[in-house]
Structure 1
Amino acid sequence: MSETSAAHTWNLILEEVRRSISPKIYNTWFLPIKPLLLDGMVLTLEVPNEFFLSHLESNYLSPLKDSVRKIIGPRAKIDYQLSTDDYKKPGKLKTLRSDKTQDKPDRQSEIKNPFVIPGIKKVTIDNNLNPSYLFENFIEGHCNRVARQAGLQISQKPGDLFNPLLIYGDTGLGKSHLLQAIGNAVHVNHPKLQVLYTTSDRFTNQFIQAIRSNTTNDFAMQYQNIDVLLIDDIQYFSGKAGTQEIFFHLFNQLHQGKKQIVLSSDKAPKDLKEIDDRLISRFKWGGSLELLSPDYETLMAILLAKCEEKQLHLEESIMETLCLNLKQNIRELEGIIVNLKLQSTVNGVQIDSKLVKEVLTSFSNRAHKEVNIESIINIISEYVKVPVNSILGKGRTRNVVQARQLAMYFSKKFTNKPLSMIGAAMGGKDHSTVIYSCEIVESLLETDRNFEELFRKLEKLIVKTLGVK
């Protein structure tokens, strides 16, 4: 049928709709809609934008469906298209001119899009990527080197290596940045591939909407068309059996099709609670890589990059104070930089040590907490079952030497003490011994899996016990 028939039918539908809703709702959420085509029992409508459609179907779908079926017939259906123009102010609907040469919409291509709401005809999916999250501005250090390199390899050959890749670690260490850096790099290296970044919460909400609108098949089909799927915070799938079930089947479909899957979590797969064992086993198929708290040098590099980005100059002593007090949360560091910039610009105050302490205190009550070398030694001694006097002595057995080296390394990482003082606290060693011990620890982390596991457990124990940042 012609556009004229669509416009006439839509005017009749509007008359029905306005009987069941308030004038304000009618003017805001129905008048901006434009009828495009009436093809049998299918009415195609153009809506201004994604938000508009999401709100319309979430709140006013019932009166709309009732009116459409009353005017067109009980088997009538609605299809949607997004407007190519900007949002238009509500106005009276005008009857459109008939254009006999107008092509009808391709019925086969009208796959419903769960990324907005079921029902949109949209060939290209918005990848949801933040273009500022790139590998180039993801500062590499020992804490994240392996994960970053794995991400780079994936972006060059998606679906070939580390599939799936699960990146886990505490909040604020760069998991979301790394996931989106992978997506942005794939988009550049392989522009024809369909990339999607989403969160577990958004995935769940889309699935719920698909159930409500009886379009779960369309939901699954759209996800199966994705070449690189990036899902953040999968720990929030916990306890959601329906979401886990559909994701399990989706995972299998994508993996069998050699489509790349990258996930993030705040815990390692084995520590995820109320997640189906079938999913846990699949998370382990590729690689599970942990992002750790950055060391002093990496944090300083991140701070320098952030200051350059924000065009903020800080004295070296102030930068040292920030790095020594914010060792766990890069996101928190960025927030503090923004806060300092705001204080400096708006209030016209100089960024000095006093202001930095005030800002640090407002972000965390742990700021400037002194960590004692003796406390670190005691924690290591108790965990590895090596007496404190052995760690401080001159014993050369393997377990004693290793405990001593770990104590020196963590004392350097978690305290604001010079190397000479750390050495003196370790039974009168000099600073060169501390440097050598730290180098040994870093070397073992890269070559000895058992040592790395011990190191990670001790690091978490020290952080938890002493409340260090």
Structure 2
Amino acid sequence: MTIAEFWPLCLQHLKQQLSTQQYSMWIAPLTVGEENGQWLVYTPNNFLFGHVKKQFWPHIQAAKAELAPADAPDLALKIGQGLRLEAAGNAAPAAVNTTAKQAPSAEQIIGKHLQAQSSSATPATPAPTAIPAPNAAVPDDNTTPAKRDAQRLSPEFTFDTLVVGKGNEVAVAVARSISENPGGHYNPFFLYSSPGLGKTHLVQAIGHTLLQLQPKAKVAYIHGQDYLRSVMNAARNNTFDALKQKYKQYDLLILDDVQFIADKTRTMEEFFYLFNHFYNERKQIILTSDELPENIDGMDVRLKTRFSQGLTMRLEPPEFEMRVAILQKKAQLAGVKLEEDAAFFIAKHIQGSVRYLEGAFKRVEASSRFTGKPINIDLATHALKDLVASAYKVITTEMIMEAVAGYYKIGIGDLTGKKRTRNIARPRQMAMMLTKELTSLSLPAIGSSFGGRDHTTVMHAVKTIADLRKESPDTERDYQKLLILIKN
């Protein structure tokens, strides 16, 4: 067996073991080759090398043990470029789990999630099993309020613009199922998470899809504060009957940030009756909050129990791969090019909230537009320096060059120039080593910063300094002193 025969089988095996996002981001860019009787897997840059080595190399080695003959050559991971191959087709060997060839459906994802929780879950009140279509026979003169509330859906918040990852995969599958069959098994649907993780995007995507599938459906998207305000207006004008009739006409009711009606006795009472109407008529109710229903302070106990009787799900913060994918999606929608290293830098240092991540991208994009510079790691570092400063001191190539040049009493131009004398070459190698250790730059990017040098020159510099640190106390002392100077 050759590496060209093994690798497509390995890719197919990895596709079944990893999420689609993990595979496309970390495995698909890998290439292969063969040299001196050894099989080689290449990563295009140093960042991918480190992540693949740490997170996915055991998967690759396990695949080799399962799919390749016992006498197959050793497998090594290197930085470079080799032959790009595609995953094998459906004719995978028996050793590969062929049952996982197709991505699971929404119902399979949901079923697996619910089955995993069934042993500890408290039986809930059964949701209606009938799934009626929305009322299509509505006079035209009654559609204006419904259309007006449907127009509150942001045109950007659709499933097409939503990035799916581990933190929201099941919730997205549920949402898609609801948009196709409103008022069914997942009614009410209660979605909660910390602020800024995409609750509003996901629930509005349900409304958009339902309107696409059933154009005559009536969809209401209302924020908790707006519903509170409408009840207050009804109390002031004594128009509760009109308020009830307004909301009863809808087929899908989305109440975002339901916690805002807590402690408001009359508002909670009105919503209690509205909720019962929707549930009894088998119309879909979708609610969002920052907390579980039982943890919402001041919420009527009757509402808490009703909120919990359908399906309650939590959105988790996006993992690193998902944050990178979100940034790439934002760049695609904005029509700008986001360099890989810049996406990695932003995703690494802006964590937790999708809202913060989007804000960081907008700042970087604006900086690029106003300066006319590409969105690379240098621009991202400069644009976001105040955002990440509290948790991380932004270290740039320029900072490292200044520290190294000052320490060795040479000019910064010497580090990027052509001179190869020992008193210049060794500081240059030290600066390259420190840049590799203290920044997210790839080896080619580091080489480019140091006068357009090749990535192999950077690799040689890193190895040289690493060896000298072991052999020479003076080199190790210089390295540690420079670390302190740069970081402080």
TM-score, normalised to structure 1, is 0.52
2:232 to 204, 208, 215: 208
2: CA distance, partners of 1:247 / 1:273: 17
1:159 to 183, 186, 195: 183
2: CA distance, partners of 1:145 / 1:136: 14
Q: Which residues of 2 match residues 383-402 of structure 1 at below 5 A?
A: none
| Aligned 8 A contact 2:328 2:338 in 1 | no
2:349 to 325, 330, 334: 325
The alpha-carbon deviation at position 138 of structure 1 amounts to 1.0
SS of structure 1 residue aligned to 2:221: strand
Paired AA for residue 149 in structure 2: D
Paired AA for residue 260 in structure 2: Y
Partner in structure 1 of residue 267 of structure 2: 243
Partner in structure 1 of residue 368 of structure 2: 344
| Aligned 8 A contact 1:163 1:262 in 2 | yes
**Does structure 1 residue 126 correspond to structure 2 residue 149?**
yes
Aligned pair in 2 of structure 1 residues 345, 110: CA closer, same or farther (>3 Å)? closer
Matched length: 257
Aligned pair in 2 of structure 1 residues 365, 218: CA closer, same or farther (>3 Å)? farther
| Aligned 8 A contact 1:126 1:196 in 2 | yes
The alpha-carbon deviation at position 122 of structure 1 amounts to 5.0
**Does structure 1 residue 266 correspond to structure 2 residue 290?**
yes
**Does structure 1 residue 276 correspond to structure 2 residue 300?**
yes
Partner in structure 2 of residue 360 of structure 1: 384
Q: Which residues of 2 match residues 15-26 of structure 1 at below 5 A?
A: none
Paired AA for residue 277 in structure 1: V
2: CA distance, partners of 1:369 / 1:253: 55
SS of structure 1 residue aligned to 2:149: coil
2: CA distance, partners of 1:363 / 1:240: 37
Most deviating of 263-272 and 274-283:
263-272
The alpha-carbon deviation at position 126 of structure 1 amounts to 3.2
2: CA distance, partners of 1:208 / 1:326: 40
| Aligned 8 A contact 1:110 1:122 in 2 | no
The alpha-carbon deviation at position 190 of structure 1 amounts to 1.6
Aligned pair in 2 of structure 1 residues 138, 351: CA closer, same or farther (>3 Å)? closer
| Aligned 8 A contact 2:339 2:377 in 1 | no
Aligned pair in 2 of structure 1 residues 365, 250: CA closer, same or farther (>3 Å)? farther
Q: Which residues of 2 match residues 63-212 of structure 1 at below 5 A?
A: 124-127=147-150, 128-212=152-236
- Structure 2 gap ranges (5+): 1-138, 395-438, 441-488
1: CA distance, partners of 2:177 / 2:385: 40
SS of structure 2 residue aligned to 1:231: strand
| Aligned 8 A contact 1:141 1:298 in 2 | yes
| Aligned 8 A contact 1:199 1:232 in 2 | yes
The alpha-carbon deviation at position 342 of structure 1 amounts to 1.1
Partner in structure 2 of residue 446 of structure 1: none
2: CA distance, partners of 1:290 / 1:298: 17
The alpha-carbon deviation at position 369 of structure 1 amounts to 7.4
The alpha-carbon deviation at position 353 of structure 1 amounts to 3.4
Aligned pair in 2 of structure 1 residues 258, 123: CA closer, same or farther (>3 Å)? closer
Deviations 1:7-65 (A, max 9, x none): xxxxxxxxxxxxxxxxxxxxxxxxxxxxxxxxxxxxxxxxxxxxxxxxxxxxxxxxxxx
Partner in structure 1 of residue 71 of structure 2: none
SS of structure 2 residue aligned to 1:289: strand
1:291 to 311, 315, 318: 315
Paired AA for residue 157 in structure 2: Y
| Aligned 8 A contact 1:360 1:367 in 2 | no
Partner in structure 2 of residue 85 of structure 1: none
2: CA distance, partners of 1:309 / 1:146: 25
**Does structure 1 residue 305 correspond to structure 2 residue 329?**
yes
| Aligned 8 A contact 1:143 1:294 in 2 | yes
| Aligned 8 A contact 2:146 2:250 in 1 | no
1: CA distance, partners of 2:389 / 2:237: 48
Aligned pair in 2 of structure 1 residues 109, 246: CA closer, same or farther (>3 Å)? farther
Deviations 1:233-282 (A, max 9, x none): 11111211111110011000111000100011111112211101111100
The alpha-carbon deviation at position 109 of structure 1 amounts to 9.5
1:220 to 244, 251, 257: 244
Aligned pair in 2 of structure 1 residues 305, 158: CA closer, same or farther (>3 Å)? same
1: CA distance, partners of 2:362 / 2:243: 40
The alpha-carbon deviation at position 125 of structure 1 amounts to 4.1
2: CA distance, partners of 1:123 / 1:197: 10
The alpha-carbon deviation at position 313 of structure 1 amounts to 1.7
Deviations 1:370-406 (A, max 9, x none): 9xxxxxxxxxxxxxxxxxxxxxxxxxxxxxxxxxxxx
Aligned pair in 2 of structure 1 residues 140, 255: CA closer, same or farther (>3 Å)? same
1: CA distance, partners of 2:224 / 2:146: 23
| Aligned 8 A contact 1:194 1:225 in 2 | yes
1: CA distance, partners of 2:188 / 2:141: 30
Most deviating of 194-203 and 134-143:
134-143
Aligned pair in 2 of structure 1 residues 366, 262: CA closer, same or farther (>3 Å)? farther
The alpha-carbon deviation at position 312 of structure 1 amounts to 2.1
SS of structure 2 residue aligned to 1:158: coil
1: CA distance, partners of 2:227 / 2:361: 32
Paired AA for residue 220 in structure 1: K
SS of structure 2 residue aligned to 1:275: coil
Deviations 1:424-465 (A, max 9, x none): xxxxxxxxxxxxxxxxxxxxxxxxxxxxxxxxxxxxxxxxxx
Deviations 1:49-83 (A, max 9, x none): xxxxxxxxxxxxxxxxxxxxxxxxxxxxxxxxxxx
2: CA distance, partners of 1:277 / 1:123: 30
Paired AA for residue 324 in structure 2: M
SS of structure 1 residue aligned to 2:329: helix
SS of structure 1 residue aligned to 2:288: strand
- Structure 1 gap ranges (5+): 1-107, 114-120, 371-415, 418-469
The alpha-carbon deviation at position 298 of structure 1 amounts to 1.4
1: CA distance, partners of 2:300 / 2:204: 26
1: CA distance, partners of 2:304 / 2:392: 39
The alpha-carbon deviation at position 198 of structure 1 amounts to 1.0
SS of structure 2 residue aligned to 1:126: helix
Deviations 1:311-335 (A, max 9, x none): 2222222111111112211111111
The alpha-carbon deviation at position 169 of structure 1 amounts to 0.5
The alpha-carbon deviation at position 179 of structure 1 amounts to 0.7
